[in-house]
Amino acid sequence: MNKHKIAVFASGVGSNFEAIADACASGIIPAELSLLVCDRPEAPAVKKAEIRGIKVFAFSPKDYASKAEFEAEIVKLMDSLEVELVCLAGYMRIVGDTLLQSYHGRIINIHPSLLPAFKGARAVERAVEYGVKVYGITVHYVDSDLDGGKIIAQRAFSYEGADPEEVHSIGQLIEHELYVEVIKTLLSGKHLSEDA
Ligand code: GRF
């Protein structure tokens, strides 16, 4: 039986990428991580992929005339690799129509808040500033509404301090576990689409 093929999009550290790659390598996720897409060629995530021998498409958006142009290239590459599921993990770009139309219902994202609270950037910092006592992580489908797609899974945790770094560290441990669990579940189902 052919293995599922997945892609991860990241812009930074790539700890979620790493967790997903390790879970694929050990068979916890029954898939091959076929591609890392990164919009910052110097990002640590790129090194993490290279060390593991995972194909990388690293690009600088400024080298393209438009988002549609670089997304078309990504779609072409993912089609050729037969990618079934796209996992955004710290990809700091709004996904455009070209990608959304080609991979509708097959793009998911992980966000460090209990959505719909604290959509967008600096979610943890804003939650700390707000003084929330319960934080969380959300995995959701990606659509044209920023951090507004259908929720797949959430995990909450209590924290009474005021240190965003600490919240990040607690949250990231949860992210790695939750994202692997969700990807595994989605791939084991008959349908990947949010419409299913
Ligand atoms: C994660 O906290 C994720 O929730 C957010 O971006 C961060 C990426 O971290 N979308 P990493 O690059 O996977 O370490």
* pLDDT per position as a tens digit, 54-93: 999 999 999 999 999 999 999 999 999 999 999 999 999 9
Please give the pLDDT value at position 194.
64
Tell the residue nearest (CA) to atom 10 of ligand 1: 90
Q: Does 116 sit behind a cis peptide bond, omega within 30 degrees of 0 on the bond before it?
A: yes
Closest by CA position to 186, among listed 10, 17, 31, 26: 31
Average pLDDT on 172-191 reads: 92
Q: Is the predicted pLDDT of residue 131 greater than 80, yes or no?
A: yes
Please give the pLDDT value at position 138.
98
- How does the average pLDDT of the chain come out, rounded? 96
Distances (CA, A) of 89 to 15, 21, 32, 158, 161: 9, 12, 17, 23, 26
Tell the residue nearest (CA) to atom 9 of ligand 1: 90
Q: pLDDT tens, 11-59?
A: 999 999 999 999 999 999 999 999 999 999 999 999 999 999 999 999 9
Instruction: Find the 11 Cα to ligand 1 centroid distance in Å.
Output: 9
- Tokens found for residue 84: 């079934």
Confidence grade of residue 189 (pLDDT, cut at 50, 70, 90): confident
- Tokens found for residue 124: 């943890």
Instruction: Find the 121 Cα to ligand 1 centroid distance in Å.
Output: 11
Please give the pLDDT value at position 192.
56
